[in-house]
Structure 1
Amino acid sequence: MKALRRQSLATAIQLSLLLALPGVAAAQDAPPSSDATTLDRVEVTGTRIKKAEIENQVPIQTLSREDIERTGLTSIADVLQEITGSGSSLNTKFNSSGNFGFPPDGSGVGAGSATVDLRHLGSKRVLVLVDGIRWVNEASASGVSSSTDLNTIPLAIVERIEVLEDGASSLYGSDAIAGVVNIITRRRFDGFQITGNWGQYEKGDGDTYGIDIGYGGSTDRADWFVGASYIKQDEIFSKDREQSRLPVPGTGLANGSSATPTGRFVFTDPATGRTYSITPNNGASDPTYLSGQPLCPTTRTDDYHCFTTADRFNFAEYNMVLTPSERTGLFGQFRFDINDRISWYAKALYNRRESTNQAAPEPLFFGPGGATGNAFADNILISASNPYNPFGFDLDSADNLVLVGRRPVEGGPRIFEQQVDTWYFGTGFEGTFDVGERAWFWDVNGAISKNEAEQDNFGSYNIRNVNIALGPLAGCQAEPGCVPLNIFGGPGTITPDMLNWIRPVVHDESENKLHLFTANLSGDLVEAWAGPISFATGYEYRKYEGSYRPDPLTVAGFYNGVPSGPTDGDYDVNEVYVELNIPLMGESPIGKKIDLSLAGRYSDYSTFSGEFTPKVGLRWQLVDELLFRSTYAEGFRAPSIGELYGTFSRFDATITDPCQISTTGSPPTGNPANCAALGVPTGSEQANPQISVITGGNQNLTPETSKSFSMGFVWTPTFLENTSAAERVDIEGTFYRHEIEDAIQAPDAQTQLDRCVATLDPFFCDGITRAVTGDINRFVNTLDNLGTIKTDGWDFDVFWTFPESQVGKFKLSWQNTWVGRYEARDEGGNLEPRAPGVEVSDSGIPDWTSNAALDWKYGNWMASWTVRYISELRELCGVAARDFSVCSAPERGPIDADGIPLGENRLPSTTYHDVQVGYTFPWMKGLQLIVGANNVFGKEPPICLSCSLNGYDASTYDVPGGGFYYVRADLKF
């Protein structure tokens, strides 16, 4: 197989060289011309051919530095997540540690990171470049990610951002399925610049501070730029916002946890044979009882009462809606002209991110009803000899114990502190040479980059030591340092000595490395009937290395939190590509020009056989003011290190078991006969809304493959140009379509369970096992090449520059995206729940998103007004929420087993208004003062029932709600 790959690679290299031979032969036959034509070198994202005429071949959205500064944001990811073609992805509004869990792709939770998603296809399907060179993938000390953390790139060094929302694997290789983000850094700068900014939410919290310093200069043969950046963002706690104070807004404690500070105890009394679900009275003299409460068949006259929804624990108030983050960056680049034809450059970057996530005090679950997947918890003996056991008999998982849930608030909240260091160094040569009367461009580049992350976890527990401290007293006394543990007495009964035995500091590490070498050649090959045939060809080598090293306590299986195994892997790839631009027709009755573009890339991976990806495009300049363009491309995404080599980990998903009485007391919705066949006893109650799902990588994964198609136009109506109505107008429209086959994913856990109960099909049920109580005690959900994803839609943009008048100059930009279709199907052809207009799994796909920005300049004054629109979304309420007022359309939604609609929650359309005003003083080279407000009218985000934390969709809406006000001062000298 390796020999075959080497042969294929050699053939591809020979092909790229042969395409260049005609020009080389011309150079040998003809002496160099003293007046050879030197073309302007124009770099365009979406093509490797460096030529001005190639612009507008593919749809590119360019965010200038002015566009970026207008947002008032301090993160590249936050800027990109506001464009209309963006989908849901991580940012600092995701409080993503704690029992948020590990995604099945082995990437970890990405705590503190910020990524970009295009076309709702996922951040791992977006390729991020910096100055046309791949950037290293993120590290967040929880896995080996296949996405790029944009918080590793300081916004201060950015000159502009170019976004290609089209498939581009033939030009850039793997990962460019949904598109490419190319971040262009500041290169030429003369003098010093210092920028300071401060912002705060209208409630007086979430302060953001920043300072950027830049210095640049040039000589006849050299230019340089160095910069430093510091950003600090303060936290906002969930308890400080009305909407996020409860686990699910509007549903009270229905989705609260059964692990409480007083403790919940579900067991069978060996003396009576009765099963109880009880909790301490916590000082109440009158025992409470709800008639018909499952697992509590009688009132009690002791210090306990039957556990009810009112006893559940509100974990939400310990969370954050905005996580603290501190980022420090240093960047520099130097460019030197060796002679008129050859230049050398070098650039380097160091960036540190320090961030924190916080979760509620860690729960302790014991017994089969806890379903943690940890043997020390699921198979526990809480001995009668434990001096704090009030029942006088053993609570044994193998006999009479169903569930114990105790939340040691004495140990405080779980705090996760990340430190992420990014290093980058790149260098290379570029130049030109003449081939006859044609100038050819070449460059060779090398880069080394690395992300290293460490995470310290305070407030978790050693479940082995907990097991020993609850077991036979003699066993605890035999262990040095062991102190018997009291989980029965309520808050304050776990002493500092007890905590010292069970509470460690957990330390995790991860890293991603990328070594890269590229060589490119571009120019005109020959003069054809309608103009020169241009080409680009090149070679690229990349080596990826990634590892995740969880704490030894976690590896040994002693960690009470979300467990995971270590990951370690590497692979390399050799690639060659060829791109041609062929003029098919010059000026004629059917138009001014038609160009055909062809591209192909062969990728040889060490982890699987080679892959060839072609692309074809057509550009038709009908008249000077009207251009039509279309592209078809095939692409692929190679499985990442985490997806291939990620070992056992766990995700705690919020799932409603159709076979059990829900946590709110609602009856089961599943087929009774099927539930009985699955081993669920009649009357079985789901003890906990979170079910542990085991995830992991798969070394047998093959690449995802894709097909992309786009067709559109660019119209610059000349009848409006330089008139009283407009100085210039540009109108662009694009239809896009993406299809992904063999998508690397795991089935949606809730969907898999529902289909298992409905069909008993082993395809869905394999990997789901239950305890004798009926509770799910194992749920395996690992990666595979599952099914397909298809999406299509339209982009429509208008850019209108008004003529200057006595009141200044105005410029309007209006950008829109409509998603016509989004379908994801599993291997069995079943439709997954994501769709346009639907909110599910912490993300929504709005049917229509629109941004309109009006800029104004008058003398030294400037101002802008931006309107951002998100169309309505909807989500199923489910049995836990259907009886609450937030289910605005209870007559809608699927029907349960009793014929009752589950209801539907509507997230209404949302419009945000941002304003900014600035003035430039003529001091030194200019002092600019800017004040602005985002979400100036304080619009609150819609309530989301299915979102994991805080009741918000943190990447679709402005979170935490309310206006954000800021000031910025920019001084140049």
Structure 2
Amino acid sequence: ESTEVDVSFGAEGDRSRMFLDVSWTDQNEVLAGDREISEYAIQGFPYGLSSGTPEGRLVFTDPRIGQTLSITSYTPNPFYDPNCWATGTSVSGCDDFQPFTLDDRFNWQPYNYLLTPNKRVSMFAKAEYDITDNTMFRLTASFNKRESTSQAAPEPLFFGPEAGAGDILDNLLWPADHPTNPFGIDMGPDSFVFTGRRPIEAGPRIFEQDVETWYISAGLDGSFSVGGSRDIYWDATAIFSENDATQIKHGAFNAQNISIALGPTDTCDATPGCVPLNWVGPGTMSQEMLDFVTFVQKDVSNQELLDLTLNFTGNFGGFFDAGLIGWAIGFEHREEDGSFTPDSIVSSGFTAGVPAQPTEGGFDVDEAYGEVIIPLWRGDGLERFDISASARYSKYDLFDSDTVFAFGANWAPTESLTLRANFAEGFRAPNIGELFNTGSRFDASIVDPCSNVSPELAGNCAALGVPPDFVQPNPQLSVTTGGNPGLTPETSDTFTAGFTWAAPFADNWNSVEGLLFELNYYDISVDNAIQPPDAQDVLTQCVETLDPFFCDNVSRAPGGTVQRVDGVLQNIGGIDTSGIDWRVQLITAETGIGQFRFEWLNTHLLDYTETIAGPDGDVKISREGTELGSPERAFIEYKSTVNIDWLKDNWSARLAFQYYGSLEEECGGMTAAFELWDDFCTRGQEGNDIDSTLFTNLNASWSPDIGNNGQWTFMVGVDNVFEETIPFCASCDLNSFDGTIYPIPGRFWYARAVIQID
């Protein structure tokens, strides 16, 4: 459910004008557990997948019996007898533990949001005042405030050298004489292998965001004459913008305090507030225990922008009586600064969650540009031929200076046909976050090729120190990400060409008012593209090649578990992409039943090739028609939209069809981690086909006649009328579908009222 209210007001005087707009939005949440496709981590697979469970999973070696066990217990304060496990398997009912199986894994999906709840307030104001007849002062200001809440399952606690949770928890010692230790042996790096506990007693992780953005722009516009016959127009603008963001996280755990609460009792007794932590079995963590090991995390960030511009435009001369040559020159000075300050517990390295460090940075840039538009031919009507050229010089304090050029041509041989072509060089410097954001971590669905290793890779995995019987304990692996101060700017070459044709033969059709065809082709080549490497590719290439180029970015625990894949931003080799966009529009003449407008919009992705560095040189990867999944990125080859509009008197309606073409993906992610290829992937281990989809949307509106007092409009509509099924994605990290392209599953109704008073 979503509610939005928008109020606008405008006024005009003899020399002044003003406009004010205020909007308020309240968006309610949609939980992943409320939709069939996202009820479980893998659609149609009714099991949890996490080793971090409310009861606890313990993988450890008991030296008394020489066995490595993977066990759990559904009994609070359980009893353990090593003799029950002397053969590595349990004797039924012998003690309170049982082997850990798929049925014991935790389903985190019901805690997650498909749609994040938020409240937004936006204010925009603009004022203009004519100082003289040819000089105007303008002022623009805006304020945006967002209060939103994200939610995730309770924070999983992973202990032991195979956990990859940081030095404190990886090397935690749980003494044999600890009052909550039922095993009678020291549990530390020599015995612990991997342990996971999901403390649902603490509730879900709640992330509350408060983001405020201020923007103010002041400037002057004017003109003056040169030689009494040519006007030159100028404008000068100063912009200041600031963004302040605060995030409060509830349900965060302090790894340092966990190690104290599970460590020697004399240390705990000497620490104020410490209560020995009882974590084996369900419901064993009391509020007193949680008060000591949890904390409320507060992170803050700030970004500031100062932008000064000065522009001049005018015209002069000309050729062949085709018109005056238009020109423009301009100058810009821009300063950008940013900072991020995590909670002190986080920056000290004591969090059991995602680590982070404080950072700050900024850069200055001075730019100048010039452009001309040269008319070369004019016909009797709208026929024309123009060419254009421009150049832009950029000087950053962090990078080498650069100059880019652009050239274009527009030719209208008839009044109904326009042809155009443009070539432009591009230059994009990395932004504040890309440069200075310190390393962070997220969990991605990645399959370790050394888990249940194939015979072909067994030797390579052994060389990496992975045991032959290794099984990946969790379907999600940690990926470090963040900015990179060593990044260099992206450069690009872009060529576009197209035409617009208002078909003249349609003028002879009595029932048609207009028929329009438009087509545009693009070809873009980006060098030094800024993006993170694909973590799955890095891990797979490491295992398959053993090349340090890849393996230096993979960290494994002594027992073989991947602790981390490094995925900080890089300048990859480049991106080459091309495609065609075209549309057809037909407008009928008005008749007794009204007027119709038909519009067909189409997008064809012809090529999307990424060039990345490999151990033996550049490697090209074709992405068109594929889904990457982790993180979600879809490269659909064909998308199409058909809009059918009907208008009659004060009524109108639209029927819209949105088509998304099919995709191919690897049968990866959690589907592969649990070897479910044959159950959920259309081509088994070879991959999965994501079906094409067709969404139908409908709305209708009524604008009653209220005379000269303004205009009222009332609209009702429904999106996804027939509840089209969202296709399953095997490699996607969350919810079994790509939320970057497909809407939230289900039918969505809405109503809207617009009241304008003059």
Query: Normalised by the size of structure 2, how large is the TM-score?
Result: 0.94
Is residue 2:756 matched to residue 1:965?
no
Residues 937 and 963, structure 1, Cα contact 8 Å, conserved in 2: no
Matched residue SS, 1:347: strand
Alpha-carbon distance change, 284 to 367 in structure 1, aligned in 2, over 3 angstroms: closer
Match of 1:460 in 2: 252
Structure 2 distance, partners of 1:721, 1:432, is 43
Match of 2:405 in 1: 614
Is residue 2:744 matched to residue 1:954?
no
- Partner amino acid, structure 2, of 1:412: G
The one of the two structures with greater contact order (alpha-carbon pairs below 8 A, sep at least 6) is: 1
Structure 2 distance, partners of 1:914, 1:441, is 46
User: Which of 758, 767, 784 lines up with 2:553 in the alignment?
Assistant: 767
User: Which of 508, 514, 522 lines up with 1:728 in the alignment?
Assistant: 514
Alpha-carbon distance change, 725 to 321 in structure 1, aligned in 2, over 3 angstroms: same
User: Which of 528, 535, 540 lines up with 2:319 in the alignment?
Assistant: 528
| RMSD (CA atoms) | 2.2
Match of 2:693 in 1: 910
**Superposition pairs of residues 288-307 of structure 1, within 5 angstroms:** 296=88, 299=91, 301-307=94-100
Q: CA deviation at 1:400?
A: 1.4
Alpha-carbon distance change, 582 to 881 in structure 1, aligned in 2, over 3 angstroms: farther
Match of 2:14 in 1: 220
Alpha-carbon distance change, 213 to 592 in structure 1, aligned in 2, over 3 angstroms: closer
User: Which of 61, 65, 69 lines up with 1:268 in the alignment?
Assistant: 61
Residues 155 and 199, structure 2, Cα contact 8 Å, conserved in 1: yes
Match of 2:625 in 1: 836
Structure 2 distance, partners of 1:833, 1:276, is 44
Deviations 1:552-576 (A, max 9, x none): 1110011111111112011111000
Residues 90 and 98, structure 2, Cα contact 8 Å, conserved in 1: no
- Partner amino acid, structure 2, of 1:873: L
Q: CA deviation at 1:586?
A: 4.3
Is residue 2:713 matched to residue 1:928?
yes
Is residue 2:306 matched to residue 1:515?
yes
Is residue 2:629 matched to residue 1:859?
no
Is residue 2:144 matched to residue 1:355?
no
Aligned-residue sequence identity (percent) comes to: 40
Q: CA deviation at 1:643?
A: 2.0
Q: CA deviation at 1:849?
A: 1.0
Alpha-carbon distance change, 779 to 713 in structure 1, aligned in 2, over 3 angstroms: same
Match of 2:486 in 1: 700
Q: CA deviation at 1:881?
A: 5.8
Match of 1:75 in 2: none
Q: CA deviation at 1:943?
A: 1.7
Deviations 1:10-63 (A, max 9, x none): xxxxxxxxxxxxxxxxxxxxxxxxxxxxxxxxxxxxxxxxxxxxxxxxxxxxxx
Residues 449 and 540, structure 2, Cα contact 8 Å, conserved in 1: yes
Residues 265 and 403, structure 1, Cα contact 8 Å, conserved in 2: yes
Q: CA deviation at 1:793?
A: 0.5
Structure 2 distance, partners of 1:669, 1:235, is 47
Alpha-carbon distance change, 305 to 693 in structure 1, aligned in 2, over 3 angstroms: same
Is residue 2:41 matched to residue 1:250?
no
Match of 1:847 in 2: 637
Alpha-carbon distance change, 322 to 765 in structure 1, aligned in 2, over 3 angstroms: same
Alpha-carbon distance change, 888 to 773 in structure 1, aligned in 2, over 3 angstroms: closer
Q: CA deviation at 1:514?
A: 0.8
Matched residue SS, 2:224: strand
Residues 487 and 570, structure 2, Cα contact 8 Å, conserved in 1: yes
Match of 1:496 in 2: 287
Matched residue SS, 1:331: strand
Match of 1:387 in 2: 179
Structure 1 distance, partners of 2:568, 2:124, is 40
- Say which is worse superposed, 602-611 or 905-914, in terms of deviation: 905-914
Match of 1:27 in 2: none
- Partner amino acid, structure 1, of 2:530: I
- Partner amino acid, structure 1, of 2:120: R
Is residue 2:580 matched to residue 1:801?
no
**Superposition pairs of residues 30-45 of structure 1, within 5 angstroms:** none
Q: CA deviation at 1:453?
A: 0.6
Matched residue SS, 2:592: coil
Q: CA deviation at 1:884?
A: 5.8
- Partner amino acid, structure 1, of 2:194: L
Q: CA deviation at 1:803?
A: 1.4
Structure 2 distance, partners of 1:445, 1:458, is 43
User: Which of 711, 718, 723 lines up with 2:497 in the alignment?
Assistant: 711
- Partner amino acid, structure 1, of 2:748: G
Q: CA deviation at 1:488?
A: 0.9
Alpha-carbon distance change, 587 to 929 in structure 1, aligned in 2, over 3 angstroms: closer
Unpaired runs of 5+ residues, structure 2, are none
Is residue 2:34 matched to residue 1:240?
yes
Residues 723 and 803, structure 1, Cα contact 8 Å, conserved in 2: no
Residues 25 and 119, structure 2, Cα contact 8 Å, conserved in 1: yes
Match of 1:199 in 2: none
Structure 2 distance, partners of 1:682, 1:885, is 24
Alpha-carbon distance change, 810 to 434 in structure 1, aligned in 2, over 3 angstroms: farther
Structure 1 distance, partners of 2:454, 2:250, is 38
- Partner amino acid, structure 2, of 1:279: T
Is residue 2:729 matched to residue 1:944?
yes
Q: CA deviation at 1:669?
A: 7.3
Unpaired runs of 5+ residues, structure 1, are 1-206, 288-292, 662-666, 893-900
User: Which of 624, 628, 636 lines up with 2:427 in the alignment?
Assistant: 636
Structure 1 distance, partners of 2:44, 2:678, is 7
Matched residue SS, 1:382: coil
Q: CA deviation at 1:282?
A: 4.4
- Partner amino acid, structure 2, of 1:626: L
Matched residue SS, 2:725: coil
Deviations 1:212-254 (A, max 9, x none): 1111121232211112110100001112112211012123336
Alpha-carbon distance change, 618 to 417 in structure 1, aligned in 2, over 3 angstroms: same
Structure 1 distance, partners of 2:378, 2:538, is 57
Deviations 1:466-485 (A, max 9, x none): 11111111111121111100
Alpha-carbon distance change, 740 to 601 in structure 1, aligned in 2, over 3 angstroms: same
**Superposition pairs of residues 389-428 of structure 1, within 5 angstroms:** 389-397=181-189, 399-428=190-219
How many residues end up aligned between the 2 structures?
739
Structure 1 distance, partners of 2:563, 2:681, is 35
Residues 597 and 646, structure 2, Cα contact 8 Å, conserved in 1: yes
- Partner amino acid, structure 2, of 1:963: F
Structure 2 distance, partners of 1:949, 1:543, is 38
Structure 1 distance, partners of 2:736, 2:680, is 14
- Say which is worse superposed, 456-465 or 876-885, in terms of deviation: 876-885
Structure 2 distance, partners of 1:670, 1:506, is 46
Matched residue SS, 1:504: strand
Structure 2 distance, partners of 1:886, 1:584, is 65
- Partner amino acid, structure 2, of 1:902: Q
Q: CA deviation at 1:297?
A: 5.1
Match of 1:323 in 2: 116
Structure 2 distance, partners of 1:735, 1:622, is 20
Name whichever structure is richer in strand by fraction: 2
Structure 2 distance, partners of 1:535, 1:836, is 43
Alpha-carbon distance change, 716 to 389 in structure 1, aligned in 2, over 3 angstroms: same
Residues 262 and 488, structure 1, Cα contact 8 Å, conserved in 2: yes
Q: CA deviation at 1:531?
A: 2.7
Structure 1 distance, partners of 2:301, 2:62, is 47
Structure 2 distance, partners of 1:582, 1:790, is 31
Residues 368 and 394, structure 2, Cα contact 8 Å, conserved in 1: yes
Matched residue SS, 1:843: coil
Residues 628 and 665, structure 2, Cα contact 8 Å, conserved in 1: yes
Deviations 1:628-674 (A, max 9, x none): 1111111111012222222222222221111123xxxxx55761111
User: Which of 643, 647, 666 lines up with 2:438 in the alignment?
Assistant: 647
Alpha-carbon distance change, 345 to 241 in structure 1, aligned in 2, over 3 angstroms: same
Structure 2 distance, partners of 1:840, 1:684, is 25
Match of 2:362 in 1: 570
- Partner amino acid, structure 2, of 1:920: S
